[in-house]
Chains A and B, each alone.
Chain A
Amino acid sequence: MRRRSHAKKLLVEGRQEQRVIPELIEANGVLWGESRNEAIVLIDEFDGIENLLKPGVIEAELKSSGVEIVGIIVDADDDLEKRWQAVRNRCLSKFPNLPEKWDDTPLIVTADDGLKLGVWIMPDNSKCGMLETFLQYLAPTGSELLVEYAKETCEEAANRGATYTPHQKTKAEIYTWLSWQNEPGRQLHQAVKERILDPSSSSAAGFVEWFRELFEL
């Protein structure tokens, strides 16, 4: 796993984020680049939040040679404040003045030596949830009834022996909804690319704006 240094890096929890975000950004008018090497921003995924938050990992990324801008996207999951604390602790050595409390807006700060850091807590920096929660908001106008039905169905499925955990509920809901679309069963990033989910939705605007401002695009 040898990587040349890249000036702009985005650190995400897993493969889903790694695939979805380029589609979302490109759908909003920013060319992403054809290959990994040409990508405007290099996205590294860590196969789970624990690996991303392991002591030393983010610190080393922030000290990596040639890096100028680092973005971090994490899920709030069940406790947004707690998640922020964990991320903050990893960034303190390089950014000692990070706010102790999260103020429900996405973060962009610059260190004395010019290194820029950005943090976005899914879904929208103010509530619990995850990437899939954020993507639920991108269901196109007109599909509200179907989204609601997907939620009800998942609820009922739980009563009938479905094995998804409470933590995974939002994932079950969105994949259920996707199974009813044309094409059925598209993956998340494909759904964004093919406009099954609406990347120009106002719910995505905040994220795109943060991304563009952080990475100067």
Chain B
Amino acid sequence: MLSHVNIRGYRGLREFSLNGLGRVNLLVGSNNCGKTSILEAIQILANAGDPWSLVHGVVRRGERVSDSLRRRNRSSSDHDLSHLFYGHEVAIGQEFEITTDKAGPLGGVIVHITEGSQHDEERQSSLPFEAGNDDSIDATAWTLTIDWPMHDSASFDLPINSYGGVSFDSLRRYPRSRFESAIPVQHISTAGLSVDEVVQMFEDVVLTPDEDLAVEALRLIEPHIDRLATVSRDRRTSYPGERGGVVVKMVDSSQRVPIGSMGDGMWRMLGLALALVNAEGGILLVDEIDTGLHYTVMDQMWKLLSEGARKLSVQVFATTHSRDCYESLATIARDDVSDGSEVTIQRIESDRTVSTGFTEQEIIAAAERGMEVR
């Protein structure tokens, strides 16, 4: 479990630390203070610098190279990595770093921009890829280098062009299967999980004891659920925000109901439970964890999450804007019998370099007195 995370130069976070972290950490703070960036930074670290995890946030935020820039440079680079760096500028020497209190690969990762690899014969790559002559990278190419200084491993290079662009084709040459995460990490963005992700994760646990957790989670909303199953679906028509691939059977009925018929909260809960079990031994990141959940469900959601996290050794980082959400955290804070804080709230403020952390006693006091912690 990480006790301390320090982020330097990543997106809008020039310098920011979170200390005194626990098993379940709820990040609060005003819009645009960097909560999502912190989740992304932790994911990048946990994925041991896998370039795909660098790009995830870029794709989700729609950070694409402008058409005019692409035409002018006659390149097909389409993802713009410049926004990963504080100040949105790509230049040689620019870097961002994420460090923690741990040793080994989880100890830290540093991502920096150096001269293009074709100019540097001695540069080693931990993987036998050749940057080669990539048509999609123009002549003034630079290199995005990913280093993990506390891990005895060579750094990894990704060619980018001088305005921070990297092409999808170029990325595709580094298949995901080649990267071994430092630890398992699951990230649920505000938009939630896709049908494919949910189906995949359910099928990974079906007929194992972990499947029960998923059903238990849904029973928090609908106590009469008997069983779940995945069903094949028509892949030709799929669109963002779709719900599907899973059917539900109730105790007193023989009918199968598509999960989408049961409201968004169900989808979110299922996604939460599945992501939790798939993050066993690692980290679960959930953006806007209260989305789709009524306050009456929130207490039990936290209970399920915190018990599951303890049993499966998962460290959870979630964000929220909702008062109901952080106040209901007091429920598990009260029940926590172990020493030290299993549960913390971390307030992120853009004009500070350290989060304001609330211990369990303080969370309980704040909930009881209706204090404003965000």
Contact = CB atoms under 8 A, between A and B. Distances in A.
Interface in A41-80: 44, 54-57, 59-61, 63-66
Contact of A65 (B362, B369, B373): B373
A63 B20 CA distance: 15
Contacts of A4: 372
Contacts of A65: 347, 372-374
Contacts of B154: none
B361 interface: yes
B370 interface: yes
Interface in A17-37: none
Interface of B: 323, 347, 352, 356, 358-366, 369-374
A101 interface: no
A56 B370 contact: no
A160 interface: no
B372 A60 contact: no
Given A2-B323, A60-B366, A66 B361 contact: no
With most chain B CB atoms within 10 A of its CB, the pick from A1, A4, A63 is: A63
Given A2-B323, A54-B365, A65-B347, A60 B358 contact: yes
A5 interface: yes
Contacts of A66: 372
Contact of B358 (A1, A44, A54, A63): A63
A57 B365 contact: yes
A162 to B, nearest CB: 36
B289 to A, nearest CB: 19
A118 B373 CA distance: 21
Contacts of A5: 372
A64 B372 contact: yes
Contact of A56 (B347, B361, B374): B361
Interface residues of A, number: 18
A209 B340 CA distance: 41
Given A60-B363, A61-B365, A63-B347, 12 more contacts: A1-B369, A44-B369, A59-B365, A60-B361, A60-B366, A60-B371, A61-B369, A63-B362, A63-B373, A64-B371, A64-B373, A66-B372
A1 B366 CA distance: 11
A58 B363 CA distance: 11
A55 to B, nearest CB: 5
A55 B373 contact: no
A56 B369 contact: no
Contact of B370 (A3, A54, A57): A3
A60 B373 CA distance: 8
15 contacts: A3-B372, A5-B372, A54-B365, A56-B359, A56-B360, A57-B369, A59-B359, A60-B361, A60-B363, A60-B369, A60-B371, A63-B358, A63-B362, A65-B373, A65-B374
B373 A56 contact: no
Contacts of B365: 54, 56-57, 59-61
A95 to B, nearest CB: 15
Contacts of A2: 323, 370
A65 B374 CA distance: 6
A24 to B, nearest CB: 25
A3 B327 CA distance: 13
B364 to A, nearest CB: 6
A57 B356 CA distance: 15
Contacts of B352: 113
